[in-house]
Amino acid sequence: MQSITRNIEALGKKTSQSIEECGYIVMLFLESIFWLVFGKRRNQSIRMAAIVSEAKQIGVDAVAISAVLCFAIGIMLAIQGIETLKTFGAQSQVILGIALSVTREFSPLIIGILVAGRSGSSIAARLGTMNESQEIDALQVMGINPVRYLATPVLVAMIIMLPLLTILGDFMGLLGGAVYSNIELNISFAAYAERSFEILSVDDIAQGLIKSVVFAGIIALVSLSNGFQVSGGAEGVGRATTRSVVMSISFIVLADMIFTYFLNR
């Protein structure tokens, strides 16, 4: 009996903590937007330099790895596609499969997961360490709002850079598919490109980009909130880092599923 009540108590505690955390994330989002819009009026404007430096870390530094991963995904889709379509003797239809799945699904998803792992973890670790060494308190006593100074630039940079990386990912994924189809099916690059552009509509690209904006918000807010709430020294920072990556990726996959469902109805 005792263990049952204890379990129920633990469950209740967990639930209220989760709700609290959701509330925190929503507040963080609203506050970031507030500073973006009203910062200047309150003599606390968002520095362009801060956004640029975040954008470099989140986006520019991830260009090479994003390109390689999406290229590999393109090749992988081509291999699987050709193998499956062989059964129907419709190998050339692989272009359709690659074009749609890369732009709508794989490019935003892979980029999202990559950035969550690369930048989400580093944002959480950086903020966590700052929190532990009282740097965030220091900002506050200097009259510099920590959300305005630390969070808004990350959120803005993330929302700008993730769609850009996704466009790069789209291109590299299609290129990967083209390279493999060229080797395996002897489809020329020109023909592949022509067919791809025939298939793809603005909607397909937009679907991927909308997703990437949502993923950007998820990664930024989850890692920021985990970083801001660190307690418990170096171990706490480590925990927050892991947690923010796992949470970001889980939310990305779930959000992806929900979006895919609604956008394809």
Partner 1 sequence: MDLAIQVENLISHYGDREILKKISLDVPRGEILVIMGGSGSGKSTFLRSLLGLKKATSGKVYLLGKDIMQLNEMEMQDMRKNMGVAFQGGALFNSLTVGENVRLPLHEHTELDEATINIMSRMKLEVVNLSGFEDLKPAELSGGMIKRAALARAIVMDPKLLFFDEPSAGLDPVASVELDELILKLRDALQMTIVVVTHELESAYKIADRITVLDQGEILMTGTVDEVKNSSNKRIQSLLHRQARDEEVDAEEYLNRLTREAKRH
What residues line the site for partner 1 (CB under 8 A)?
A: 2, 42-44, 129-130, 133-135, 137-138, 140-144, 149
Q: Which is nearer to partner 1, 2 or 186 (CB)?
A: 2
Between residues 6 and 14, which has the closer beta carbon with respect to partner 1?
Answer: 6
Q: CB nearer to partner 1: give 34 or 171.
A: 34
Are 94 and 197 in contact by the 8 Å Cβ rule? The answer is no
CA atoms within 13 A on the CB side of 26: 6
Q: How far apart are CA 119 and CA 261, in angstroms?
A: 28
How many angstroms separate the CA atoms of 78 and 247, rounded?
A: 31
Q: What single-letter amino acid sits at 174?
A: L
Handedness of CA 172, 177, 183, 188 (dihedral sign): negative
> Between residues 42 and 86, which has the closer beta carbon with respect to partner 1?
42
Minimum distance from residue 126 beta carbon to partner 1 (Å): 8
CB of 231 to partner 1, least distance (A): 12
User: Is residue 96 packed enough to be buried (19+ CB in 10 Å), middle (13-18) or exposed (0-12)?
Assistant: middle
Shortest reach from residue 245's CB to partner 1, in Å:
21
- To the nearest whole angstrom, how small is the minimum distance from the Cβ of residue 57 to partner 1? 11
Cβ atoms < 10 Å from Cβ of 234? 11
Name the token pair of 130: 């700052």
- Measured from the CB atom, the residue of 18 and 140 that comes closer to partner 1 is 140
Selection from 29, 36, 6, 8 nearest residue 153 by Cα: 36
- What tokens does 2 get? 């005792």
55 or 82: whose CB is closer to partner 1? 55
To partner 1, the closest distance from the beta carbon of 162 in angstroms equals 23
Tokens of 156: 């803005």
Shortest separation between residue 226's beta carbon and partner 1, angstroms: 19
